[in-house]
Structure 1
Amino acid sequence: MESQTVVGGEGTELHVDVAGPAAAPPAVLVHGYSQSRLSWHEQFRSDLTDDFRLIAPDLRGHGASEKPAGSDRYRDPQLWAADLRAVIDDLARGDPVLVGWSYGGLVVSDYLAVEGTDDVAGVNLVGAITEKGTDAAATVAGEAFVAMLDDLETRDADASVEALLEFLDICTADPLSPRERHLMLGFNARCPPRVREALQARSGAHEDTLRALDVPALFTHGSADRVVLPAAARRHADLVDDSDVSLYEGIGHSPFWEAPERFNRELREFTRRVVTD
């Protein structure tokens, strides 16, 4: 694995991890709200890197990437699209599969709305949202997650840490090990509360973007997801002509972490199919 710095929208520096043969079919793995490229640990340590080029950025405001001031820099679809555009242009040889987890589904949708699909082989949305600030978005937001948003945005350090631990507890169906919980707390804490607040305050919808999608899509979701309800996957699939839903029974918001063998197998199969097609 190697680390790169890519310059995204408005000159924002993005930290990106890359693994796998440079000329192999690429998959760009886009993490969710308050998370990090390290969320994809189980993919980077797997044999996916023998056959595919895995590219995982820290989104702006997250992890080791730059955290520009001003809430507008986290609400503009053009900036999110520019960030992914830079990652793809700099690090992908060939059309990638875009994998968006949770809030990362909104970022991927921003890219599709702005840039289209000319350089995209397929889309895999995982426990994902594609809109914010709408009635439809509210219907698929888990009650436990919504209830903790104020605490996740607090500037009180102690309260913020406690809220992050509660958030991590609902990201999986079964409890994390102490080591996993500590690791995830560390990288979630690198996302400042002001960024988390800005992410939640944006609005916009991508129903038309999904209706117009002309590449294959896979919607992966855990049946026990308490952050984004499973109904989101079916709603998304109903909008896309060439789509499949993969429902993980008894799995929560993080299928790639909770059931990595299945997730990796399905990502491998999907990537091979869409690249071949």
Structure 2
Amino acid sequence: MPIFTRSTGESDKAIIFIHGGLQQSDIWDEQLKDELLQEQFRLIAPDLPGHGRSGRSTAPERDYSIAGMARQLADYINASTLENYVLVGISSGTNLISEALPLLSQPPKGLFFAGAAIGNHDTPWASVLLSSPYEQVLTETPSDAALTAYSKKLVYRPTDQFIAGCKQYYYDTDPVFRTTFGRYMRADGANHIDGLQHSELPLCLVMGQQENVVRLNYLDGVSFKRKWKDTIFKVPAAGHLVNYDQPQIFNHLLWQFAEEVLNK
């Protein structure tokens, strides 16, 4: 299935941005136009399968499961032949990256996770969520009120423009993805935390202090072998989409992280 990609910069050092479910690459606008990031790195932001301007599956049960989405993400990255890159994920994009890691022919040099929604057997996905906005919108035809409530949860101070954009991202998503992905997310058999705990990949974790989708402190007691700066960065005046609420802080952290791990 064709994958639509936005790309800027010419460096052989790359940053690949992976959005969450029901979103699209446009959520990375403030990162893709950041001059410092553009100067130092090639910036790549695909629309995931079934999202935005990418193709839609004719076999949704296979392609829209978490494993299926991760397989397609790995195929996309492997086809790029990149050797020196960082993966940036937000929201459920962090789940897809975690699931795709074993399938990558050339692993990334580091992982940068914002609003991570990863779990394991002791911390199931349902327990990570404060309250599940997905329950009301992972359907083919949700109410406008449900879409508005879902959109408002994603950022610290939602504007009318943001809410309208969020709704458009939703309508640009394959309706079959919404129901199929919803079933797999609710089943929640993934064990992503354990794999990342023992990974040799540097891992930067960023959360908004006003996070309103996942529990802010659920990863605080988890030890990760290569947690960058040995901290979880909690950004003030920011919600789930930290990159949207506080792009300057987010971009500076990302630049520091990428500079360090891609220049070794």
Q: Which residue of 1 aligns with 2:89?
A: 100
Q: What amino acid does structure 1 have at the position aligned with 2:220?
A: R
Which of residues 129, 135, 139 in structure 2 aligns to 1:141? Answer: 129
CA distance in 1, matches of 2:103, 2:118: 14
* SS of match in other structure, 1:38: helix
**SS of residue in 1 equivalent to 2:4:** strand
Going from structure 1 to structure 2, the CA distance change for 1:113 and 1:99 (only over 3 Å counts) comes to same
Across the aligned residues of Structure 1 and Structure 2, the Cα RMSD in angstroms comes to 2.2
The range that moved more, 199-208 or 127-136, is 127-136
The TM-score with structure 2 as length reference comes to 0.87
Letter in 1 for 2:250: F
Unmatched runs of 5 consecutive residues or more in structure 2: none
Q: Secondary structure at the match of 1:14?
A: coil
TM-superposed deviation, 1:193: 3.7
Partners of 2:90 and 2:114 lie apart in 1 by: 5
Query: Structure 1 residue 76: deviation in Å?
Result: 4.7
Q: Which of 98, 111, 118 is the equivalent residue of 1:109?
A: 98
Structure 2 contact 101–107 (Cα < 8 Å) conserved: no
Report how far residue 238 of structure 1 moved.
1.8
Distance 2:120 2:141 in 1: 26
The one-letter code of the counterpart of 2:253 is E
Matched, 1:267 2:257: no
* Alignment-derived partner of residue 30 in structure 2: 42
In 1, Cα distance between the equivalents of 2:27 and 2:120? 22
Indicate conservation of the 8 Å contact 1:62/1:190, yes or no: yes
Equivalent residue for 2:212? 226
Q: Distance in 1 between matches of 2:220 and 2:56?
A: 34
**Structure 1: how far apart are the matches of 2:157 and 2:195?**
34
1:170 aligned partner: 153
Query: Aligned-pair distance for 1:94?
Result: 2.9
Structure-2 change in CA distance of 1:272 and 1:140 (3 Å): same
Aligned to 2:191: 205
Distance 1:250 1:185, change over 3 A: same
Contact 1:133 1:201 in 2 (8 A): no
- How many residues of Structure 1 are paired with residues of Structure 2 in the alignment? 256
Please report the TM-score for the alignment, with normalisation by the length of structure 1. 0.84
Paired letter, 2:224: L
SS in 2 for 1:17: strand
On the 8 A contact 1:96/1:120 being kept in 2, the answer is yes
Q: 1:211 is matched by which residue type in structure 2?
A: Q
Any idea what SS the aligned residue of 1:213 has?
A: coil
Please show how residues 184-199 of structure 1 align to structure 2 within 5 Å: 184-199=166-181
Contact 2:12/2:84 (<8 A) preserved: no
Look up the match of 2:75: 86
Q: 2:60 aligns with which of 44, 59, 70?
A: 70
For residues 176-233 of structure 1, what are the alpha-carbon distances to aligned partners after superposition, in whole Å with 9 as ceiling and x for unaligned?
2x22322222122111343122223223221331123101110010121111221244
- What one-letter code is carried by the residue in structure 1 that aligns with 2:78? D
Q: Cα–Cα, structure 1 residues 13 and 232, in superposed 2: closer, same or farther, change >3 Å?
A: farther
- Paired with 2:250 and 2:47, the residues of 1 have a C-alpha distance of 21
Q: Which runs of 5+ in 1 are unaligned?
A: 1-11
Question: Equivalent residue for 2:203?
Answer: 217
Q: Distance in 2 between matches of 1:135 and 1:115?
A: 26
In structure 2, C-alpha distance between the alignment counterparts of 1:165 and 1:50, rounded to whole Å:
37
8 Å CA contact 1:128, 1:232 repeated in 2:
no
Higher mean C-alpha displacement, 257-266 vs 206-215: 206-215
Indicate the SS of the match to 1:231.
Answer: coil
Letter in 2 for 1:199: F
Alpha-carbon distance in 2 for matches of 1:134, 1:73: 27
1:21-49 per-position Cα deviation (integer Å, ceiling 9, x unaligned): 1x341011000120000010111121121
Which residue of structure 2 aligns with residue 238 of structure 1? Answer: 223
Residue 134 of structure 1: how far off its partner (Å): 7.1
What is the identity, as a one-letter code, of the residue corresponding to 2:191?
A
The alpha-carbon distance between structure 1 residues 184 and 113, as it changes in their structure 2 partners (threshold 3 A), is: same
